[in-house]
Every structure is written in C-alpha cells, then in structure tokens.
Structure 1
Amino acid sequence: MTLTPGKLAGLKAVSDARGVIAAAAMDQRGSLQKSIAKERGGQSSSHDLEVFKTNVTDVLTKHASAILLDPEYGLPAAQNLNGKGLLLAYEKTGYDANTPGRLPDLLHVWSVQRLKEAGADCIKILLYYTPFDTKEVNEFKHAWIERIGAECKAFDIPFFLEFVGYDAEGGDEKTVEYAKKKPSIVRGAMEEFSKPRYGVDVLKVEVPIVMEFVQGTKAFKGEAAYTREEAKALFVEVASVTELPFIYLSAGVSNPVFIETLELAGESGVKYNGVLCGRATWKDGISIYAKDGEAAFRQWLETTGVENIENVNRALASATPWTEKVNA
C-alpha cells in the first residue's frame, strides 16, 4: 500500500508517536440522544449532545491520539482537541429501516471537501455489511463505497471504513448462533473492502468473536461458541485476508470486556494497528450527565473516564504501527 502526501499526513495526525491509532470515538448521535433522554426520564436536545461531546473531547483527547466526531453536533467539540487529530463522520446516523439491507446514506449538506475544510484529518464512514446479503443490496453498498473512496482520493485525505455486521436472515445478533457466524461476516467484509477499487486506507473492524461466548474468559456467560484457543486463532485467520492497516472498534461493550478483548488479541499475535474506542470509555457517564448535570459529568470524565482510556492505552501495547504496512 502506497500513501500520497495528504493521506500520509492525515494518518500521522491521528496516530501516536509509535504509529498506533489510539483514538476516541464520539460520533454517536441518535443513540446518544435517546440514552440521555432515557436516563433523564424525559427529553434531551441537540444542546445536550454538543455539551456531552465537548466535555468528552476536551478531557479524553489529553489521553488519546485523536477523536472521531460528527459534523452535525461535534464541531463545537472540535475546538477542544488539545492538539490531537480529528476524524469526521460523513454518513447519516443509523440506516434506512424501511428497505431491506440496512442501506446507508450520506449527510446531505456535507462533502469530503467540506469536512476537510472543517478541520478533518481523516474521513470516516460506517457501513452495515454482511457478505451474505443479496447481490442487489451489496452491489448498492459496493458502488456507494467506491464513490466515497474516489472523493477521498480527489482531496487526498485518508478514508477510514467502519463496518458493522448483521444477520442477513434476520436473526438476533446477540445470540450464540450469530457469534458462530460472526468470524465469516467480519472476514468477508475485510476481504471485500481491501480491494484497491474502494480506495480505503484504514479498516475499522469488529473483533471476529463475541467475548461472552469465549470459554475461559472473564466475560464468558456459560454458553460457548468457541474455546479460548479457537478465538485466538480466529483473530489471526480473519486478519490474514487484508494487507491494509486495521483497527478495532469497541462495539458498545464495557471497559473491562474491551480490555480483555485487546488482551486476547495481543495473545493471538494478530497485527492490528490500534483502536477507535467510544462507549467503552464514556458510556457509564451518560446517566451522570443526564441526572446530575455537566459539572458532575466533567468530574466523572476526569477520574473514571480517564482511567478507562488509560486502561485502553495500556492494552494497546500489543498493537503494531500502521507504518509497517504502507509505503510513503
């Protein structure tokens, strides 16, 4: 993989001194607003989102290499980066629930050019994807990603593609049955979007296993999809399909579970290149913000929130620099 000057500069901007991406994620929108409202027992507003994101960004970027924000509610927070890198999301939150296949859409009043002008060092897209959906659905998604890749190439800015798997047959993604399917879903997505035609620079991927179904882990809840040794082998086997840099997302799990996941990845020897970690760092602060207000939330961030992200940073000792996978 060869990087152009703009893409190289963008990746360096969001990485630590080792060349590892140790970034925080704070681009949640609809789900965050609903969570605040639920904890408050009432309503939440766009102002709540801006305040929440600004506090998370100001506190956690002191301990991260970068942060991922959205341009809808996150731009005020982008004034508090503490000299760290900025990734901006380009997709609408969620997906079209009225048509099959979880089809994506872009923010209507934004473009790669506008995101770059707003200060983005890198562009992020989230795509719900499984290689086992219909040809019609996946061709739509393939062409959609090709357009975004071309746009990022035109403006010489790194393209981070995040994909989240699902059961094309409509099954529950929280079951052991889905956990057994997950490795092939993650593998298929990584293999497909590593093709040069898409112009992706960094893959932001789910881990290929579900920790609560891994025997021999602290997260294990009694029903097994894989042994500990099988899980470690899956980390390496799934990653073998790509030569691109890739990082792991936390996918909403708790901080202890995400730390144990990264420890398992480290034991496996998989050559991952960092994380974009959101809810595993700040999720438990939602109720504090909703019930006790901004000052209490800020205090929680500066103590427990910082402890959470430092836990992640220590676990990232097993990550390898993305510079080993690219040519400048």
Structure 2
Amino acid sequence: MTLTPGKLKGLQAVSTRNGIIAAAAMDQRGSLQKSLAKEKGGDVSDAMMEEFKAIVAEVLTPHASAILLDPEWGLPASRRRAPNAGLLLAYEKTGYDKTGPGRMPDLLDQWSVRRLKEAGADCIKILLYYTPFDPKDVNDCKHAWVERLGDECRANDIPFFLEFVGYEEGADEKALEFARKKPEIVKASMAEFTKDRYGVDVMKVEIPVNMKYVEGSRCYSGAAAYTRAEAMRHFLDAAGVATRPFIYLSAGVSNAEFTESLELAADSGVRFAGVLCGRATWKDGIPIYAKQGAGAFRKWLEQEGVRNINNVNDRLKAATPWHSIYGVGREALAIG
C-alpha cells in the first residue's frame, strides 16, 4: 500500500514522532449535551458546549498526539490545542436516523471534506453504526456511503479514519448475550472495511471483547463470556483480518477498563497503532463542570484527566507505528 503526500502529511500530524496515534476524542455532541443537562438540571447552551470542549483541548492536548473534534461546537477548541497536537474533524451528524431500521448515518449539511480541511483538519473521521448481520439492503447502503466518503477524501488528499460501532437491534449491548456476539461483529466489520474499495486509511475499532465478561479480569462482573485465553484469541482473530492500521476506541468505558483492555491487546501480540480515547479520560468530570463550573472542571482535568490520559499513554508502549504497516521508510517520513 502506498500513501499520497497529503495522506502521509496528515497521518504524521496526528501521531507521535514514533508513528503512534495517541489521540484524545472530544467530538461527542448529543450524548454530551444530554449528560450535561442531566447533571445541571437544565438546558445546556452552545457556549457551555464550546467551553467544555475548549477546556478539554487546552488541558489534555499537551499529553496527546492529536484531538478529535466536531465542527459544530469544537472549532474554538481546535484553536486552543497544544502546538504538538494534530486535528481530526468529524464529518457525520451526531447519532443516527431513528425513523427506520439500520441506524443509518448522515453527514453534516453545511460541511464537506474540502471545508473541513480548510477549517484546519489534518484528518477526517466518520462514525458508522454497523453489523454484518443486518439485511443486505441496509448494508449495501452503508457500503456505498463509505465508498463515496473514501472517494471524497482521496480527491482532497486527506486521511480517512472510519470508526464503526457494532450493535444489534433490540438487544442490550452491555449484556452477556451481546458480549458473546461482539467478537464476530468486530472481526467481520474490520474484514469489510479494510478492503481497498473504501479508501479507509485508519480503522477506529472497538475492543473485540467486553472486559466485564472476561473471566479473571480486574473488572470481571461475575458472568463469563470468555476465558482470558479465548479473549486473547478474539483480539488476534480480529487483528488478523486487517490490512491497514487500526486504533482502539474507548466506547465510554471507565479508564480502568480501557487500560486493562489495552494490556490484554498487548499480551495478545496485537499490532494496534494507538488509540482515539475520549470518555475514558474526561467523562467523570461532566458532573463537576455542570454543578461547579469551568474552574472546578479545569482543576479536575489537570489532576484526574491528565492522570487518565497518561494511564492510556503508558499502555501505548506496545503499539505498532502506522508507518511500518504502510511500509513507509524513514526517508519518506523525513521528506513528509
């Protein structure tokens, strides 16, 4: 696989000198607004959303290789990130279409890849709810949608990060039954979107197991979906279908659970290229911001938030540089 100059430059901008993607995610919109409103006991203004994101960017980006933001409330925050941190911008609308089956996605009406790039994006990120077990007509629509996005990113010579999150209609995705299905959903999704036709440069993937159901894990719930050995095999099986770099997302779990997941990935020998970690770093600060204000939230982030992101960074010693997966040599990196 070869990278064009623009894609090479974009990937370098969001990774460490060693080629590891150690990025913070702060593109949450609808879910963040609801959580803040619940804790505040009232409406959340646009100014509050912008302020929350800006504080996260200011405090955490000195410890990150990049930050993922949205162009709706995140552009002011993008201008307050540390000089070392690259910028990924989200292109999809928050949530998904609830009027029909399939959790269909949509793009922001007033944005394009060209406009996101002009706004400072080094890379474009898209979130897609996906399961290989949906009806063919549903997934055909999603496949065509991703193909169009890949072509748009190619035309603008900017890296395309695709995040896919598994689901099952009508199921409790935190339950034991879904945990047993999760490894196959993650593996089959990675096998699909690693195909060249989609033009995805980096896959942002879920941990292929639910750590609460891994027998003997520190966050074990008491019900087992897999032994530790089986969980390690699921990590390897999913990673084995990837032909391009992939990074792990935190999916809203606690910092302790996410870091244990990364430890298990490392013990399994998986060649993951880093993380894009959001709520596992800052979500416990939501009630502090909502009830005590910006100053208290900043102070909490400077202590607990920084500790959380450093906990994640410590686990990235086992990560594999994205450029080794693409076969990019030191000479090309120096030129880029």
For Structure 1 versus Structure 2, the TM-score category normalised by the shorter chain is over 0.9
Match in the other structure for 1:135? 136
Residue by residue, what CA displacement relative to the aligned partner does 1:77-131 show, whole Å, maximum 9, x if unpaired?
0111211100000000000011100000000000000000000000000000000
Query: Residue 182 of structure 2 aligns to a residue in which SS?
Result: helix
* Deviation of 1:165 (Å): 0.2
Structure 2 residue 158 is matched with structure 1 residue 157: yes
1:200 & 1:207 partners in 2: Cα distance? 19
Structure 1 position 17, deviation (Å)? 1.3
Whole-Å separation in 2 of the counterparts to 1:81 and 1:189? 32
Quote the Cα distance in structure 2 between the aligned partners of 1:89 and 1:134: 27
The whole-number CA distance in structure 1 between the counterparts of 2:319 and 2:327 is: 19
Give the SS at the match of 2:244: coil
- Alpha-carbon displacement from aligned partner over 1:275-322 (angstroms, at most 9, x marks no partner): 000000000000000000000001111111100000000011111111
Partner of 1:33: 33
Which residue type is aligned with residue 98 of structure 2? A
1:14 aligned residue: 14
Alignment of 1:282-293 (within 5 A): 282-293=282-293
Aligned residue number for residue 253 of structure 1: 253
Deviation (angstroms), 1:232:
0.8
Determine the C-alpha separation between the residues in 2 that align with 1:12 and 1:161.
Answer: 17
Shift of 1:42: 1.5
Please give the per-residue CA displacement for 1:33-69, whole angstroms capped at 9, x wherever unaligned: 1100101112211111100000000110000000000
- RMSD between aligned residues: 0.7
Distance 1:131 1:219 in 2: 28
Match runs of 1:24-103 below 5 Å: 24-83=24-83, 84-103=85-104
Tell me which residue corresponds to 1:177: 177
How far, CA to CA, are the matches of 2:265 and 2:45 in structure 1?
A: 38
Counterparts of 1:98 and 1:219 in 2: how far apart (Å)? 36
Give the superposition deviation at 1:327.
3.7
Q: Structure 1: which 4+ aligned runs deviate by more than 2 Å? A: none
- Measure how far apart 1:221 and its partner are: 0.5
Task: After TM superposition, give the deviation of residue 243 of structure 1 in Å.
Answer: 1.3
**Aligned residue number for residue 127 of structure 2:** 126
The 3-state SS of whatever aligns with 1:23 is strand
Q: Which range moves more in the overlay, 145-154 or 39-48?
A: 39-48
Q: Is the 8 A contact 1:3 1:327 kept in 2?
A: no
* Structure 2: distance between partners of 1:238 and 1:193: 12
What is the CA–CA distance in structure 2 between the aligned matches of 1:134 and 1:70, rounded to whole Å?
Answer: 30
> Which residue of 1 is the match for residue 112 of structure 2?
111
Partner Cα separation in structure 2 for residue 56 and residue 144 of structure 1: 31
In the other structure, the counterpart of 1:310 is 310
Contact 1:11 1:121 in 2 (8 A): yes
| Partner amino acid, structure 1, of 2:289 | Y
Render the CA deviation track for 1:135-194: whole Å, top value 9, x for unaligned.
Answer: 1100000000000000000000000000000014x2211111100100110011101111
Structure 1: 5+ residue stretches without partners: none
Secondary structure of the 2:62 match is coil
Q: Distance in 1 between matches of 2:262 and 2:117?
A: 31
Where do 5+ consecutive residues of structure 2 fail to align? 329-336
Q: Contact between 1:130 and 1:165, CA under 8 Å: does it hold in 2?
A: yes
2: CA distance between counterparts of 1:302 and 1:14? 22
| 3-state secondary structure, aligned to 1:62 | helix
Q: How does 1:186-197 map to 2 (within 5 A)?
A: 186-197=186-197
Q: What code does the residue aligned with 2:97 have?
A: D
**What letter corresponds to residue 131 of structure 1 in structure 2?**
P
For residues 46 and 176 of structure 1, the distance between their equivalents in structure 2, rounded to whole angstroms, comes to 38
Q: Who is 1:242 aligned against?
A: 242
Classify the secondary structure of the residue corresponding to 2:63: coil
**Alpha-carbon separation, structure 2, partners of 1:262 and 1:33:** 28
